[in-house]
Protein backbone atom coordinates (compact mmCIF):
# COMPACT_ATOMS: atom_id res chain seq x y z
CA UNK A 1 0.00 0.00 0.00
CA UNK A 2 1.11 3.54 -0.66
CA UNK A 3 -0.90 5.20 2.13
CA UNK A 4 2.05 5.95 4.39
CA UNK A 5 4.29 7.17 1.59
CA UNK A 6 2.58 10.44 0.83
CA UNK A 7 1.32 11.27 4.31
CA UNK A 8 4.65 11.26 6.06
CA UNK A 9 7.33 13.06 4.04
CA UNK A 10 6.72 12.45 0.34
CA UNK A 11 9.72 10.12 0.23
CA UNK A 12 10.21 7.41 -2.33
CA UNK A 13 8.30 4.21 -1.66
CA UNK A 14 10.68 1.42 -0.58
CA UNK A 15 10.24 -1.24 -3.27
CA UNK A 16 13.74 -2.34 -4.20
CA UNK A 17 14.12 -4.63 -6.11
CA UNK A 18 10.42 -5.17 -6.87
CA UNK A 19 8.05 -3.50 -9.29
CA UNK A 20 4.28 -3.95 -9.40
CA UNK A 21 1.72 -5.02 -11.99
CA UNK A 22 -1.08 -3.00 -10.42
CA UNK A 23 -1.58 -0.15 -7.97
CA UNK A 24 -5.03 0.38 -6.45
CA UNK A 25 -5.94 3.38 -4.31
CA UNK A 26 -9.30 4.21 -2.75
CA UNK A 27 -9.54 7.78 -1.46
CA UNK A 28 -5.79 8.27 -1.66
CA UNK A 29 -5.93 11.66 -3.37
CA UNK A 30 -8.48 12.91 -0.82
CA UNK A 31 -6.18 11.72 1.96
CA UNK A 32 -3.30 13.69 0.46
CA UNK A 33 -5.51 16.76 0.12
CA UNK A 34 -6.44 16.62 3.82
CA UNK A 35 -2.72 16.57 4.65
CA UNK A 36 -2.25 20.00 3.05
CA UNK A 37 -0.76 18.76 -0.23
CA UNK A 38 2.60 17.66 1.08
CA UNK A 39 3.11 16.04 -2.33
CA UNK A 40 1.87 17.33 -5.64
CA UNK A 41 -0.28 15.07 -7.80
CA UNK A 42 2.58 14.97 -10.29
CA UNK A 43 5.01 13.81 -7.56
CA UNK A 44 2.61 11.04 -6.58
CA UNK A 45 2.21 9.77 -10.13
CA UNK A 46 5.93 10.01 -10.90
CA UNK A 47 6.52 7.72 -7.93
CA UNK A 48 3.78 5.35 -9.12
CA UNK A 49 5.36 5.42 -12.59
CA UNK A 50 8.70 4.46 -11.05
CA UNK A 51 7.36 1.40 -9.21
CA UNK A 52 4.88 0.26 -11.88
CA UNK A 53 5.98 -2.19 -14.55
CA UNK A 54 5.44 -1.31 -18.20
CA UNK A 55 1.86 -2.21 -19.18
CA UNK A 56 0.94 -2.14 -15.47
CA UNK A 57 -2.41 -0.83 -14.26
CA UNK A 58 -3.44 1.92 -11.87
CA UNK A 59 -6.98 2.04 -10.49
CA UNK A 60 -7.97 5.03 -8.37
CA UNK A 61 -11.33 5.73 -6.74
CA UNK A 62 -11.90 9.24 -5.45
CA UNK A 63 -14.01 12.39 -5.83
CA UNK A 64 -14.71 13.66 -9.35
CA UNK A 65 -12.59 16.86 -9.14
CA UNK A 66 -9.54 14.96 -7.88
CA UNK A 67 -9.97 12.25 -10.50
CA UNK A 68 -10.19 14.89 -13.26
CA UNK A 69 -6.98 16.51 -11.98
CA UNK A 70 -5.25 13.14 -11.82
CA UNK A 71 -6.32 12.34 -15.38
CA UNK A 72 -4.59 15.45 -16.68
CA UNK A 73 -1.38 14.38 -14.91
CA UNK A 74 -1.41 10.81 -16.24
CA UNK A 75 -2.07 12.17 -19.72
CA UNK A 76 1.16 14.17 -19.39
CA UNK A 77 2.92 10.90 -18.50
CA UNK A 78 1.45 9.46 -21.72
CA UNK A 79 -0.51 6.75 -19.92
CA UNK A 80 -3.76 5.45 -21.38
CA UNK A 81 -6.52 6.66 -19.05
CA UNK A 82 -10.28 6.57 -18.81
CA UNK A 83 -12.75 7.75 -16.20
CA UNK A 84 -15.71 5.62 -15.17
CA UNK A 85 -18.77 6.85 -13.28
CA UNK A 86 -19.54 4.69 -10.27
CA UNK A 87 -23.05 5.84 -9.46
CA UNK A 88 -25.20 8.68 -10.73
CA UNK A 89 -25.94 9.84 -7.18
CA UNK A 90 -22.28 9.67 -6.12
CA UNK A 91 -19.54 12.26 -6.58
CA UNK A 92 -16.96 9.47 -6.79
CA UNK A 93 -15.36 8.31 -10.01
CA UNK A 94 -12.91 5.63 -11.00
CA UNK A 95 -9.73 6.39 -12.94
CA UNK A 96 -8.33 3.38 -14.77
CA UNK A 97 -4.88 3.83 -16.32
CA UNK A 98 -2.34 1.66 -18.05
CA UNK A 99 1.32 2.55 -18.27
CA UNK A 100 2.55 1.98 -21.84
CA UNK A 101 5.32 -0.45 -22.67
CA UNK A 102 7.20 2.28 -24.53
CA UNK A 103 6.74 6.04 -24.38
CA UNK A 104 5.21 7.47 -27.54
What pLDDT digit, counting tens, does each position of 62-84 carry?
Answer: 999 999 999 999 999 999 999 99
> CATH number for the domain including 35?
3.40.50.150
The pTM of the full predicted model, rounded to 2 decimals, is 0.79
Tally of domains in the chain: 1
Residue 86 lies in a domain: yes
pLDDT in tens, 5-57: 444 457 777 777 788 999 999 988 888 777 666 788 898 899 999 999 999 99
Closest residue by Cα to residue 71 from 103, 42, 39: 42
Torsion of Cα atoms, 60 then 7 then 41 then 98, to 10°:
-30
With b for 16 or more beta-carbon neighbours within 10 A and e for fewer, the 38-52 pattern comes to ebebeebbebbbebb
Domain that holds residue 80: 3-98
Amino acid sequence: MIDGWTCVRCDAFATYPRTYDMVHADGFLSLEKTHKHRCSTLDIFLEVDRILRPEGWVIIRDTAPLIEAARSVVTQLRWDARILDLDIASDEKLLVCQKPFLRK
